[in-house]
């Protein structure tokens, strides 16, 4: 799926949710509306970020069926949910900003997305690279080895 197609489909799905499920819900922020802010290709798929009146989420469409059940963004371990709906197919979602109730405008939400986008993309890249490695200590070792000789000393290697 290309990024433009993914953005169109996700925006339509979330807009339907906004209208059919969250309309009038006091837990939503009336200052916000559904908007896909970023949609970018990644190795093996597409990643995007969507603002909604109830959350700001990262959405991943991956060709490979494996992905971590958690992702670490700026030192925070966040759950990754696997969803499947007819209009989107199978996708992974990460709530990157849970509390949106205090945001005063869509522009403020876009600024937050801009601030979390790079750490989110880095976390997705790392999780995608480590998808086949189940043991966290092995993931850490492989990540350390990939950084070169200086970081290998952390593991006692020379």
* Stated pTM of the model: 0.78
Comparing 153 with 60, which gets the higher pLDDT?
60
Question: Rounded to 5 degrees, what are φ and ψ at 43?
Answer: -55, 115
The CATH T-level fold of domain 3-152 is Yope Regulator; Chain: A, (3.30.1460)
- CA atoms of 151 and 138, how far apart (whole Å): 15
What would the pLDDT profile of 108-152 be if each residue is shown by its tens digit?
999 999 999 999 999 998 887 765 545 444 444 444 444 444 443
Query: What is the model's pLDDT at position 110?
Result: 96
* Residue-range domain boundaries for the chain: 3-152
Average pLDDT of span 17-22:
91
User: Which pLDDT value is given to residue 130?
Assistant: 67
23-69, pLDDT tens digit by residue? 888 889 999 999 999 899 987 789 999 999 999 999 999 887 778 89
**Cα 58 vs. chain centroid, distance in angstroms?**
3
């Amino acid at each position: 799926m290309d990024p433009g197609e993914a953005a169109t489909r996700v925006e339509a799905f979330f807009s339907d949710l906004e209208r059919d499920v969250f309309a009038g819900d006091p837990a939503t922020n009336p200052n916000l509306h559904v908007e896909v802010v970023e949609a970018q290709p990644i190795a093996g798929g597409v990643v995007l970020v969507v603002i909604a009146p109830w959350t700001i989420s990262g959405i991943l469409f991956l060709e490979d069926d494996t992905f971590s059940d958690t992702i670490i963004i700026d030192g925070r371990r966040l759950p990754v949910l696997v969803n499947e709906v007819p209009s989107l197919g199978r996708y992974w979602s990460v709530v990157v900003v849970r509390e949106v109730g205090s945001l005063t405008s869509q522009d403020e939400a876009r600024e937050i997305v801009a601030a979390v986008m790079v750490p989110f993309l880095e976390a997705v890249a790392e999780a995608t690279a480590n998808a086949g490695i189940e043991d966290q200590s092995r993931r850490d070792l492989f990540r350390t080895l990939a950084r070169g000789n200086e970081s290998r000393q952390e593991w006692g290697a020379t």
